[in-house]
Amino acid sequence: MNKHTSAQPQQNYDRPRMRMVDEQIIARGIRSPRVLEAMLKVHRHTFVGEALRTHAYQDRSLPIGEGQTISQPYMVAKMTELLDLKGHERVLEIGTGCGYQTAILACLCKRVYSIERIESLHELAKSNLRQGRYSNVMLRCGDGLLGWEDYAPFDAIIVTAGGFASDIWVEQLVADGALLLPEGLGKSHRLVRRQKLESGVLEEYFDDCTFVPLLSGVN
C-alpha cells in the first residue's frame, strides 16, 4: 500500500499494558505466571469504548455503558489467580459485561460459559470476543442467578457483580469445584471463595472491594 494513503497508525498499547502488569498486578502480589501472561496478552483497550481507550490500562474500573463497569485490572487478576486454573476446566462466569474477564479466563481454561443480564452488553461482549478470536467462549443473555443448567456441572463459577450467592450455583459445581464472588450488601463487598470438599465447604475471605450489584431478571 502507498504509505501516503495508508490509514492512521493504530496506537500501540503494549507498553502501557506491561506497566499495568508491573505496577498494579505484580507490585500487589499476584505471582501466578499463567495469570500474568494472560494479563499481558489480552488487549484490554479493545474492550472499552473508543473514547476511553487511552484510560484502559489505568488502575481503576471504567464505564462500559448501562451503568456497568469493566473491573479494575488488579481485581480481574486477583479473582483469576484465586481460581487457580490449570487449563482443563469448564468455568461459568456470571456478569459478562464487556467480556474482558471472559477473555482472560478463556486464555487459562478449556471453555468459558458466561451469562449477562443486559442485552446490549451481551451483544457488546459477543462482538469484542469475536474480534479477539476467542473461540472457547459461550455467551448467553439471561439471569445468571439461575446458573446454566444445560452445561452444568462446572469446575469453577466466578461472579463479577456484588451480592449474595445463589444456592443453584453450588448445585451446578463439580464435587471439588470452587465458587468465587464479591459478597456483601450495597457497595461493600468482600471476595469469598467457597470450595466444595468431601468433608464440607472450605470458605476463605480475601480483599474488600466494590462491584456493581448482582441483580435478578433480564434487562
Residue numbers of the site for ligand SAH (CB under 6 A)?
Answer: 64, 68-71, 94-95, 97-98, 100-101, 115-118, 121, 143-145, 160-161, 212, 214-216
Of 7 and 166, nearer to ligand SAH (C-beta) is 166
Name which of 84, 93, 105 is nearest 39 in CA terms.
105
Q: Which of 71, 114, 120, 135 is catalytic?
A: 71
Of 119 and 176, nearer to ligand SAH (C-beta) is 119
Residue with cell 507498553: 15
What is the distance between the alpha carbons of residues 145 and 208, in angstroms, rounded to a whole number?
22
- Least distance (Å) between residue 50 CB and ligand SAH: 16
Q: Establish whether 71 is a catalytic residue.
A: yes
- Least distance (Å) between residue 73 CB and ligand SAH: 10
What is the distance between the alpha carbons of residues 5 and 206, in angstroms, rounded to a whole number?
53
Name which of 151, 95, 104, 153 is nearest 124 in CA terms.
95
- Least distance (Å) between residue 61 CB and ligand SAH: 8
Q: Are strands 68-70 and 200-209 parallel, antiparallel or unpaired?
A: unpaired
Of 64 and 156, nearer to ligand SAH (C-beta) is 64
Say if CB 3 and CB 18 are below 8 A apart.
no
Q: Among all residues, which ones are annotated catalytic?
A: 71
